[in-house]
Structure 1
């Protein structure tokens, strides 16, 4: 018996064949509940001191960027990490949400509400490079600071921390046997801490240009700009299958935001974060 397929069925088969045969890189994603967020004191065994960012407002950030550009005499380089998890078989992006108050209770990371978040700002983990620092090293260092509870030590702690770094067991264990990162004595140890936790900096997703000292950025260098004031590179960051995370910045929490809420939502998240769904469309998202 001959079965005739309708044009609609044939079109769907072609689309499915193209999606499966095209050469596309793969992202392994794990359930958001696998990542435990703990207060900083529980993660590193310290007294729970927090890390306050240098820039408390957009104006302060731009002022410091201008000062650094004038001091160094060249474009400022910065990096940010895009970390993908899944909930209900849909990709979510880990963002740092800063608001007037945030929860400090330990527990599994949960998907963020897609409702309107008044007086809240969102950002990707990351920061600016130092001198000739490699972008991957900088991002590892910033990830250790932003999501692993890593803090700089005071001068009288350096010797003790150097001994701890030489130990064969650099981790302390958190909930369910997850590896948690302890406090270290210098920024190089922050790079090692992120790497030992299984966090890997992967592909470049996009590069954004800031032509002048304002909030506007473009995914290209405008023709009239001889040298941008800042170049910001977004990297895909591959996470381990499970990990203990700790956010030390006051009034800041780590949230998992679904792609459908980010898409074309620059008014809430900004142009860079809102572009992530398009950037990830070239990848095969593997739900583990």
Structure 2
């Protein structure tokens, strides 16, 4: 009886802690509609070309800042993350690089509208940009992104910010023909660095402070 009592108390504590977490409303994937539009133009460049471009842009504008959206839907009673799939093996979050002096919210709204809306027009009312979930840093041009910036680094070259973007109950996504928008379960993404890279594979951990409120419609 004592063991059962202790177990029951632990369960109550866990339930209480879960209730205190902020919740995210997520809606079934079947609530959303998908159409296609003209493909986006991508730079077809080698690693050396990209490195040269990054150095040139850094010399002109300083720190490069990118903003990316965490968009969640429900499928099979489990939260899924919306990702772009490029050439079957590259996965990216919707978003992109900010323009000089552009705010995080304005830049992310512009990128989401360009890549996921019919006419590409930037309208802040179309996207509910929430809190910043995390920031990743590139200390130099060659290395990968890190979720921290060491005090020994003088002048990081790039910062990537992840924002929770809350989807409405229903909406239409209009996706460029050369991109595929897919829903991937968080359990598949978790710590799967090889497939999704360090930033995307770390998102389930960033979301652990939330509870998921699946809204059936």
Which residue in the other structure is 1:98 paired with? Answer: 86
- Runs of 4+ aligned structure 1 residues displaced above 6 Å come to none
Q: CA deviation at 1:135?
A: 0.7
Which sections of structure 1, spanning at least 5 residues, go unmatched? 41-48, 100-118, 149-180, 185-189
The CA distance in 2 between the partners of 1:212 and 1:6, in whole Å, is 55
Is the Cα contact below 8 Å between 2:138 and 2:157 reproduced in 1?
yes
For each residue in 1:113-153, what CA deviation from the matched residue of structure 2 results, as whole angstroms up to 9, or x when unmatched?
xxxxxx511000111111111110000010112222xxxxx
Q: Secondary structure at the match of 2:40?
A: coil
SS of 1:270's partner is helix
Aligned-pair CA distance for 1:233: 0.6
Tell me the equivalent position of 2:11. 12
Q: 1:64 aligns with which of 53, 58, 63?
A: 53
Give 1:59 deviation, angstroms: 5.2
SS of structure 1 residue aligned to 2:84: strand
Counterpart-to-counterpart distance in 2, 1:86 and 1:217: 29
Does 1:237 find its partner at 2:162? no
Q: Aligned pair in 2 of structure 1 residues 146, 56: CA closer, same or farther (>3 Å)? A: farther
2:185 aligned residue: 258
Indicate how the Cα distance of structure 1 residues 16 and 28 shifts in structure 2: closer, same or farther if over 3 A, else same: same
Following the alignment from structure 2 to structure 1, what is the Cα–Cα distance between the partners of residues 32 and 46? 29
Give distance in 2, aligned partners of 1:38 and 1:223: 46
Match of 1:133 among 95, 102, 106: 102
Counterpart in 1 of 2:122?
Answer: 191
Q: 1:191 to 1:10 in 2, by over 3 A?
A: same
* Contact 1:209–1:228 (CA under 8 A) maintained in structure 2: yes
Is 1:138–1:191's contact at 8 Å kept on the other side of the alignment? no
Question: C-alpha distance in 1, partners of 2:44/2:100?
Answer: 20
Separation in 1, partners of 2:66, 2:79: 25
CA RMSD across the alignment = 2.1
Q: Deviations over 1:44-95 (max 9, x none)?
A: xxxxx321123666655444222210222x2111111110111112110000
Q: Distance in 1 between matches of 2:53 and 2:214?
A: 41
Q: Structure 1 residues 143 and 208, CA, compared in 2 at 3 Å: closer, same or farther?
A: same
How far apart, CA to CA, are the structure 2 residues paired with 1:253 and 1:56?
Answer: 21
Structure number with the higher strand fraction is 2
Bigger Rg, structure 1 or 2? 1
CA-CA distance at 1:223 after TM superposition: 2.4
User: Conserved in 1, the CA contact under 8 Å of 2:36 and 2:177?
Assistant: no
TM-score by length of 2: 0.91
Q: How many residues align?
A: 215
1:170-181 matches, within 5 Å, as 181=118
Q: Are 1:96 and 1:255, in contact at CA under 8 Å, matched by a contact in 2?
A: yes
1:161 maps to none
Unaligned runs of 5+ in 2: none
